[in-house]
Structure 1
């Protein structure tokens, strides 16, 4: 392969565009994959090799409020509150609320960014001489935020 690429370059030709194939069990049993599919499959395989569970769903998937709560690791009433406050867009199917997966993932990313910003601001005010007090203050602040959201104690604020 390297000889081919070297000869190709020596002839003054541009390097060929990379191509991706999925091979079957028999010789010649293969199908070409778009780059996006190849990259997605690589991410899936990497996650599985790390022991992570993987689900592949279209981002147009509509979730129930319970499914949305499970994905964010918060209570269903917390999700309903976020929907009613306009934090996450939703649609109504009869009396039931449905949330697009893409909208939920966007909210989760915005929430993470806010949390990282708060952590950065907190880091600047850490009293290194009294780390125990700083940790207690952070724990109290986290509980206060969870209480304002109506989350049960111990829910994953950082999801």
Structure 2
């Protein structure tokens, strides 16, 4: 792991490789054991400790989750990249985050699918709005997958199974176009 002291202006994307952190297994084991003890309704609290007694600060839940995700990925032998994001994104940054083209993001914005603000001629998207859209889109994709799944009986005729699949695809396509079935 690279030892980097971060100041507000020096935040940058960093990649951490698992073999560079020999203690990751220890941290992973500690986290696993701690979660398995389950102390009822008591909320877990996590601290970052300094070198001297009493030199500690409590970690917010969001920071703990980020640390937990990094440690789990490293334990699995995966590299981890931490990329700071601003709260307001350009259309290109939004496209990169969604994994689509910039023109596609423009269509989504102009179509009212994602909220945005204008700064002169530029569109600015709040990160939370983009993440909400991404979550909604994933839910819709999973619903579409569920809608196209069909129970196929081993005894059933292949033509009947294919017809059921065609009907399911037709229903999903109609729903996507906004036509009520």
TM-score (norm 2): 0.54
Does residue 122 (structure 1) correspond to residue 148 (structure 2)? The answer is yes
Partners of 1:27 and 1:109 lie apart in 2 by 43
Cα gap change, 1:17 to 1:119, in 2 (>3 Å):
closer
Deviation at 1:72, TM superposition (A): 0.6
For residue 80 of structure 1, the aligned residue among 73, 93, 106 is 106
Q: Cα distance, 1:64 vs. partner?
A: 0.3
- For structure 2, list consecutive stretches of 5 or more residues without a partner in the other structure: 1-40
- Using the size of structure 1 for normalisation, the TM-score is 0.60
1:31 Cα offset (Å) = 1.4
The Cα shift of 1:19 comes to 3.7
Query: Could you say if the C-alpha distance between residues 126 and 77 of structure 1 is closer, same or farther in structure 2, counting changes exceeding 3 Å?
Result: farther
Runs of 4+ in structure 1 off by over 4 angstroms are: 15-18, 125-130
Q: Which residue of 2 aligns with 1:63?
A: 89
1:107 maps to what in 2? 133
Conserved? CA contact 1:47–1:54, under 8 Å? no
Task: Compute the displacement of 1:40 (Å).
Answer: 3.5
Counting matched residue pairs gives 121
In structure 1, the gaps of 5 or more residues are 1-14, 149-159
